[in-house]
Amino acid sequence: MKIGIGSDHGGYNLKSKLISYLKENNYEVLDFGTFGTESVDYPDYGLKVAEAVKNGECDRGIVICGTGLGISISANKVPGIRAAVCTNSYMARMSREHNDANVLALGERVVGLDLAIDIVDAWLKAEFQGGRHEARVGKISEIEKKYNK
């Protein structure tokens, strides 16, 4: 599985550690930046990862900022992206199983490395359940179509 990952300066340290973890666990990783702790704007990196998932360059994406909030809002502006901010492994699993989230958002200032790894593992291992959830995700797509004309 190919994972696109990106962060602003507030998520850089966690991103760097997660890249190592993902590679050690045989995931292919594309790093969309930032590449240091100098202040940058999170929307730029949320967009890069979201576009890579949207265009099929990556199977899923992970975005990180200080809280996970701003970068998830940015990623969610790309039609077809369902970015979920998760602070525990249950949320991560449900975001995949029920919402078919294709981008995971994390906050470096909210979760530590061990918890982040648990969240990432749960999210990557979970699969969309379809069924009654398919119609609900379809409704999300219809909302996007209505406002993205």
Question: Which residues form the catalytic set?
Answer: 65, 98
Closest CA to 21 of 106, 109, 127: 106
Residue 69 in contact with residue 110, Cβ under 8 Å? Answer: no
E runs forming strands in the chain: 2-7, 28-31, 60-65, 83-85, 103-107
DSSP letter at 9 equals: G
